[in-house]
Structure 1
Amino acid sequence: MPLKNYSMLKGRPINNRLGSGANPHYQVLVSDGEDQYRIAVNVESSDGSEVEFLVRTRFDHPITQQLLEYDDGLHRLPSAPGGAALDFIRANLAQPWEFKPLPLSAPGPDNDLNEKVDAFVQRAMADEGAMIYAFGESWGPETKADKIFGFRPGRGIHDIHFNQGNPPGRFAESNGPWQDGGLIFHFPRSSQWSAVFLKFQTQSWHSDDRSGEPIVPPQTPDRDRIPPFDAPDGLVRIVAALVNDVNSPEREMVTLLNTSDVPVDLSGWTLRDKNKNAMPLSNAIAPGATLVVNVAAPVSLSNRGGLVTLVDGNGVKVHGVSYTREQARQPGRTIPFQQ
């Protein structure tokens, strides 16, 4: 059963509390100009294990243009593609190998999860033009005061993390696609977006498109077992794309890289755009070689920003990238991808 109140909160961070205690959450007090809310961010798993984190200091993704259209305050979001809902996998927000486990707190600077989140919150509080966007499940308004900051009525948003791929058990009921949590920061004065994404180590990266249930158990890709392989993540990567051509008729091309030391047969694989349109692939890529794929209908790469996703013959995502309107602005230029 997916989250019941999947939402996005937009506002100004005005106070904070570091995570501590038996059920530690990093807490942020947010104002939308009229009402106050609390963001509760898990910084340690309920079993005591370290949470995996990903920080994007420069977050370039087409979703940022949509976020600017929202007024300050709490907004219910449909858990579906095409809107502002987050999905780490399907919106190509991250790659699984980018997530690193960190302790709640540790001696020394910039080496624990409290400090990673706090760095962006402190910067946003010090910048009057900065905004925070928190994604997760909302609660309230409650009849009592908030238990952390004391404002009335208590309300806020939590589950600020990956919300799918949970194994059978107490958290499986919250599985669902297009309902992931996260923190996105906007610093208009420096024209910068930043993001913090969190994931539990027990959660599988690959999940069913309809239920969010795990389809591949959590594991680290074993590069020595391909082919065959159990976790295909990053085996073949999308390294570049031409989406805005100067020729007529316009061409669109995607460049793939085989990162392995063996040939990879792409028969049965597909390339997909932001609307899930898919075109079949063929051919094989030699070890360490690249392959330029001419994009054909029904797949189309929009000049206004979009997604490109590579899916193997088992229907499992291998790699995915995103690009913005700004990146596609100059005709004839190929966009490089580094993830």
Structure 2
Amino acid sequence: MSLENYGILKGKPKDWKKGKGKNAHFQILVHDGKSEHRVAVNVNSRVAPSELLYFVDDNFIHPIIEKLPELEMGYRNVDRSSRDLRLDYVRGGLFDTSKMVPLECDIPGPSNDLNELIQKYVDKAADMDGGMLYAFGERWGPESFLPDSFFGFRPGSGIHDIHMNQGNSEKWQADDAPYQDGGLLIHLPEDDRWVAIFLAFQSQCFNTDDFTGHCLPDAPVQKKPETASQECDVKEPESIDEGSVLIVGALVNPEGTDSGKESVTLFNASPKAIDLAGWSLKDAAGRKSNLKGKIRAGSGTRILFSGKGVILSNSGGTISLYDNHGNLMHEVNYSSREVRSGWTLVF
């Protein structure tokens, strides 16, 4: 299996937001001359070690940069026959992967973390006449007329998986394939140079199968340097059986303004209390709201949405519950016919 919608987004960066917390993303607002898009760049992993590996070439030279300026603005899907427009960290001759090092995303002080490193070059492209960003990864959207959850433009649209997409650990092996790695290439015409930003998770390997992209049996997994912070060396939380926590209700269409009033009700059917730290809810468009707190055995809890994550569409949709390992625990669907103003749907 591989990424279904791999391609390139070309546009002018306009704004950005730093990523914080588990599974943090540096968010970039890009305009293609007609529409806006969001580029979601992983800067932290929710799986320890949390720091991503990175490599920056601030004078990048490679045959691919001769083809990129010819592309039209906006998103372009790149099929597998066009390898010259696809990134591959292992086979593409892009850079020396042994030079990738881990870096935290949020460190007190200026110009010392991964957020600020990406921001530095995005700002250069935004401020420079003709400065252009090319994001390689997987597209999502357009999301009907729903607003983007970070920048508010409509319809929501963007690109993610801006990192190595092969050599994954067993849990994410389904996303493996050669010639589909993500990354950022930034053209700074006034400086007559290109900047390349490449990212990978420490759980990934760089000795991969030419056909599947899976780690080869003798491939060592990237190790966290002994000198790095040991904050992430913690015991993995105990796994919870699927169906232990269920989605039992949803207020999709509150009376009055929806923002801050939509909610989902969860029920713990198991015989023990469950800590929801690291759990999340997602809507049909993939927007996510993180959960926290504990839910007692045989009890329920109501989750209110702020409007910055999950948005429940009145025209029908899907609500999915994920545990702290990213496993799907429960999922429900509803149609527009079931939605009534002020009424909670019961599943």
Identify the residue that residue 20 of structure 1 maps to in structure 2: 20
TM-aligned CA deviation for residue 79 of structure 1: 3.1
Identify the residue that residue 165 of structure 1 maps to in structure 2: 167
Q: Which amino acid in the other structure matches residue 15 of structure 2?
A: N
- Contact 1:37-1:156 within 8 A present in 2 as well: yes
Structure 1 residues 257-293: Cα deviation after superposition (integer angstroms, max 9, x where no partner): xxxxxxxxxxxxxxxxxxxxxxxxxxxxxxxxxxxxx
Identify the residue that residue 31 of structure 1 maps to in structure 2: 31
TM-aligned CA deviation for residue 219 of structure 1: 4.4
Distance in 2 of aligned mates of 1:97 and 1:108: 28
1:259-338 residue pairs with structure 2 within 5 A? none
Distance in 1 of aligned mates of 2:195 and 2:45: 24
Q: Which amino acid in the other structure matches residue 96 of structure 2?
A: Q
Distance in 2 of aligned mates of 1:32 and 1:107: 34
Residue 70 in structure 1 maps to residue 64 in structure 2 = no
TM-aligned CA deviation for residue 23 of structure 1: 2.8
SS in 1 for 2:85: coil
TM-aligned CA deviation for residue 108 of structure 1: 2.8
Distance in 1 of aligned mates of 2:81 and 2:170: 24
Structure 1 residues 187-208: Cα deviation after superposition (integer angstroms, max 9, x where no partner): 1122110010000000010111
Distance in 2 of aligned mates of 1:161 and 1:200: 8
Distance in 1 of aligned mates of 2:124 and 2:202: 28
Alignment gaps of 5+ in structure 2 = 224-347
* TM-score normalised by structure 1 residue count: 0.63
TM-aligned CA deviation for residue 78 of structure 1: 1.7
Pick closer, same or farther for the CA change 1:219–1:125 going to 2, 3 Å: closer
TM-aligned CA deviation for residue 180 of structure 1: 0.3
TM-aligned CA deviation for residue 80 of structure 1: 4.6
- CA RMSD in angstroms, aligned pairs only: 1.3
TM-aligned CA deviation for residue 82 of structure 1: 3.9
Residue 127 in structure 1 maps to residue 131 in structure 2 = no
* TM-score normalised by structure 2 residue count: 0.61
Q: Which amino acid in the other structure matches residue 39 of structure 2?
A: I
Pick closer, same or farther for the CA change 1:13–1:219 going to 2, 3 Å: closer
Distance in 2 of aligned mates of 1:15 and 1:217: 38
Pick closer, same or farther for the CA change 1:124–1:156 going to 2, 3 Å: same
- Contact 1:80-1:178 within 8 A present in 2 as well: no
- Contact 2:131-2:186 within 8 A present in 1 as well: yes
- Contact 1:81-1:178 within 8 A present in 2 as well: no
Pick closer, same or farther for the CA change 1:214–1:136 going to 2, 3 Å: same
Distance in 2 of aligned mates of 1:46 and 1:177: 24
Q: Which amino acid in the other structure matches residue 155 of structure 2?
A: P
- Number of aligned positions between the proteins: 219
TM-aligned CA deviation for residue 8 of structure 1: 0.3
Q: Which amino acid in the other structure matches residue 21 of structure 1?
A: G
Residue 150 in structure 1 maps to residue 152 in structure 2 = yes
Q: Which amino acid in the other structure matches residue 19 of structure 1?
A: G
TM-aligned CA deviation for residue 77 of structure 1: 0.7
Residue 42 in structure 1 maps to residue 45 in structure 2 = no
Distance in 2 of aligned mates of 1:81 and 1:178: 9
TM-aligned CA deviation for residue 81 of structure 1: 5.8
Alignment gaps of 5+ in structure 1 = 221-339
TM-aligned CA deviation for residue 66 of structure 1: 1.0
